[in-house]
Amino acid sequence: MRIDLNSDVGESFGAWTMGHDELLLPAITSANIACGFHAGDPGVMRRTVRLARAHGVAVGAHPGFPDLAGFGRREIRCSRQEVEDLVLYQVGALAAVAHAEGVRLRHVKAHGALYNMACRDEALADAIARATAAIDRSLVLFGLPGSALLQAGRAQGLRVAAEGFADRAYNEDGSLVSRAVAGSVIHDETTVVARTVQMARHGTVATAAGSIVPLQIDTVCVHGDTPGSARLAAAIRQALEAEGVVVEALGRGPKL
């Protein structure tokens, strides 16, 4: 039993800070670093790569729509080619920053609206997968289980990682309950920890309706934007390890 714990980091921008990366990174195994389009800037990217390296955390790219004002959360109707190009640009920029710091990128996880759209839309999924493969075929592509994104990644010969969300409610079909629905985000820490352990150990999740459904995942996303998120991430990791689950990054390891 193995699981990766990932989190979105490096989301500060210029004079504005966001998140508590220094506290969060010790608890996780994969860092999704913003690439300057929805958050992050060249200086923040470098400092975040250094911080991840210092904690032995795998560094990945977190490309998003070009929308600082909307933090990449607003859907933008881009063409397939536009998405391929903007992902290539952002991942390439972070790859150079990482290279300058002696680090190789391990994974790519699209951000916000781009992630959500690409999980559903084959053309956008294909665009992200192609851009990722063009940079480095050993990169792991993250996406929702059963999504167009994972399918496109496999079609490009990439290793893919199915992602679960520690604090989100699930529908009967294993999809996420929309954030527009009350109860879609779970705030009770004990519950969040227990659900994560269940995902990692049993490959199942309790749905909003109360049934248990399969959810095969390789990585769990823990959120880092609230003050308590670092403590929660640490609690999740501790519980996983106490249950015998190996918490480690994906990609490039001997067993992977």
Residue whose CB is less far from a copy of itself, 63 or 174: 63
**Cα angle, residue 25 at apex, residues 180 and 249 outer, rounded to 5°:** 90
Q: Does 90 bind a copy of itself (CB under 8 A)?
A: yes
Instruction: List the interface residues with a copy of itself, window 193-212 (CB under 8 A).
Output: none
CB of 66: closest distance to a copy of itself in angstroms?
6
Q: Does 53 bind a copy of itself (CB under 8 A)?
A: no
Residue whose CB is less far from a copy of itself, 43 or 253: 43
The binder of a copy of itself chosen from 51, 57, 59, 97 (CB under 8 A): 97
DSSP-assigned states of every residue in 162-206:
EEEETTB-B-TTSPBPPTTSTT-B---HHHHHHHHHHHHHHSEEE
CB of 250: closest distance to a copy of itself in angstroms?
21
Contact map string, positions 70 to 89, toward a copy of itself, x by CB under 8 A: xx-xxxxxx--xx--xx-xx
Contact criterion met (CB below 8 Å) for 107 and 140: yes
Q: What are the structure tokens assigned to 48, written together?
A: 């975040």
What residues contact residue 237 under an 8 Å CB cut-off, 6+ apart?
5, 27, 28, 247
The binder of a copy of itself chosen from 1, 14, 120, 137 (CB under 8 A): 14
What residues contact residue 190 under an 8 Å CB cut-off, 6+ apart?
none
Tell how strand 107-108 and strand 204-206 pair up: unpaired
**Cα angle, residue 12 at apex, residues 9 and 17 outer, rounded to 5°:** 115
CB of 223: closest distance to a copy of itself in angstroms?
13
CA distance 30 to 180: 28
Residue whose CB is less far from a copy of itself, 172 or 225: 225
Q: Does 217 bind a copy of itself (CB under 8 A)?
A: no
Contact criterion met (CB below 8 Å) for 192 and 166: yes
CB of 180: closest distance to a copy of itself in angstroms?
12
Chain residues that interact with a copy of itself, rule: CB under 8 A: 12-18, 36, 39, 41-43, 45-46, 66-71, 73-78, 81-82, 85-86, 88-97, 99-100, 113, 131, 134-135
